[in-house]
């Protein structure tokens, strides 16, 4: 049994990871800034703590006496959030910096950092037919402003703590993760959840239209949460020292993603394209040669299959909320 700290445990990916690590018999300390009643998932078997990990002393409190740290804590969201909150995204640098310092001083054996495809050079993402971003495409650096630069800097920090202080660090660059128990409204949601929610709401209200950010031709790949949780653990316990892509290589346009959601819902909507909305890079995909070489595996859960589970969960949340707030809910007030 290992003693493992998960930072950002109240969030989407952190909640799933805590569940999995607890299930495997580990002693887990789950830490998040949010009050417990706002966590997506709470594992009663874990030691659940509410701490602001931007503060140095809280990071020491969080990791002291434990063996391993997974850092998934960050102030983040989809394009709508990161394009309008660049300073807030960059302040997450304090979380990783203080967690690394505390991990070094408290004798942590292994440290995992959740990086992002937003570290990649923007000039390599101007074509919707993106051949896939190789790990080396992060340099020369031209990361996503704000959020991406913070991720790139924190990756380097992991590398130098490993080289200079001997702390074992592992870094994965996640490409859009989706699934149940994550953000689906409020402004931080990402495309799979946002599109599912809009289609579900249209079904409830009888609205015949859906607003899509951009022209719908921009491309992305999306990784289902189960693949992400497997990949995080496989990378953490590997001997791969350099940042590794952790993403699906099933690239689709946003229009194709809407097609999938409409197919699940069983109805079609008129598409209105909001060309002024935040839309991010033109084309992005994960190039998986390295992960296949090192781990003999790559994320492979088909988008259609993962979206069905995600859609069903979001549908339950939206319908529950509608029932709970009957009379004053967002559909009939």
- Residues lying near ligand NAD in the complex (CB under 6 A): 8, 10-14, 32-34, 52-54, 72-76, 95, 114, 116, 174, 176-177, 182-183, 190
Q: What DSSP character marks residue 133? A: B
Of the listed 113, 147, 181, 224, which one is catalytic?
147
Smallest gap, in angstroms, from Cβ of residue 170 to ligand NAD? 14
Smallest gap, in angstroms, from Cβ of residue 209 to ligand NAD? 27
Distance CA 233, CA 82 (A): 27
Angle between helices 147-165 and 93-105 (to 10 degrees): 10
Cis, bond preceding 140 (omega within 30 deg of 0)? yes
- Extract the tokens encoding 167: 């702390």
Name the residue with the smallest CB distance to ligand NAD: 11
Smallest gap, in angstroms, from Cβ of residue 114 to ligand NAD? 4
Smallest gap, in angstroms, from Cβ of residue 54 to ligand NAD? 4
Render the burial of 239-252: b for 16+ CB within 10 Å, e for the rest.
ebeebbbbbbbbbb
Smallest gap, in angstroms, from Cβ of residue 326 to ligand NAD? 28
By beta-carbon proximity to ligand NAD, the closer residue of 16 and 198 is 16
By beta-carbon proximity to ligand NAD, the closer residue of 66 and 174 is 174
228 — alpha (psi -120 to 50), left (phi > 0) or beta? alpha
By beta-carbon proximity to ligand NAD, the closer residue of 202 and 235 is 235
By beta-carbon proximity to ligand NAD, the closer residue of 10 and 132 is 10
End-to-end CA distance of the chain: 52
Smallest gap, in angstroms, from Cβ of residue 328 to ligand NAD? 27
Task: Give the DSSP H or E segment for 291.
Answer: helix 289-295
By beta-carbon proximity to ligand NAD, the closer residue of 170 and 190 is 190
Distance CA 103, CA 268 (A): 51
Question: Is residue 147 flagged as an active site residue?
Answer: yes
Q: Is 317 helix (H, G, I), strand (E, B) or coil?
A: helix
By beta-carbon proximity to ligand NAD, the closer residue of 12 and 224 is 12
CA-atom Rg of the chain in angstroms: 20
Distance CA 176, CA 190 (A): 8
Number of other residues whose CB lies within 10 A of the CB of residue 179: 24
Residues classed as catalytic: 147
């Amino acid at each position: 049994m290992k003693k493992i700290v998960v930072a950002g445990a109240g969030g989407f990916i952190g909640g799933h990871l805590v569940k999995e690590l607890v299930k495997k018999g580990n002693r887990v300390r789950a830490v998040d800034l949010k009050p417990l009643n706002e966590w997506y998932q709470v594992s009663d078997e874990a030691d659940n703590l509410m701490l602001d990990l931007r503060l140095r002393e809280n990071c020491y409190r969080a990791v002291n006496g434990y063996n391993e740290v997974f850092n998934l804590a960050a102030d983040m969201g989809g394009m709508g959030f990161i394009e309008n909150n660049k300073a807030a995204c960059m302040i997450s640098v304090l979380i990783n910096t203080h967690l690394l310092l505390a991990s070094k001083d408290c004798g942590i054996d292994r440290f995992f950092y959740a990086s992002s495809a937003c570290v990649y050079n923007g000039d390599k993402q101007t074509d919707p037919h993106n051949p896939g971003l190789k790990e080396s495409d992060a340099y020369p650096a031209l990361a996503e402003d704000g959020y991406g630069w913070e991720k790139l800097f924190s990756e380097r920090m992991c590398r130098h703590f490993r080289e200079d202080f001997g702390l074992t660090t592992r870094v994965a660059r996640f490409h859009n993760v989706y699934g149940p128990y994550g953000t689906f409204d409020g402004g931080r949601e990402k495309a799979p959840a946002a599109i599912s929610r809009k289609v579900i709401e249209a079904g409830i209200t009888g609205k015949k239209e859906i607003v899509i950010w951009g022209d719908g031709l921009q491309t992305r790949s999306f990784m289902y949460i189960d693949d992400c949780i497997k990949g995080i653990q496989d990378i953490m316990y590997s001997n791969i020292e350099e940042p590794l892509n952790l993403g699906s290589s099933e690239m689709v346009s946003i229009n194709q993603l809407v097609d999938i959601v409409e197919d699940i819902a069983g109805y079609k909507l008129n598409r209105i394209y909001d060309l002024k909305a935040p839309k991010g890079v033109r084309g992005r995909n994960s190039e998986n040669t390295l992960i296949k070489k090192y781990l003999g595996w790559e994320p492979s859960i088909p988008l259609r299959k993962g979206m069905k589970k995600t859609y069903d969960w979001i549908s339950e949340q939206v319908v529950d909320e509608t029932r709970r707030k009957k009379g004053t809910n967002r559909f009939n007030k």
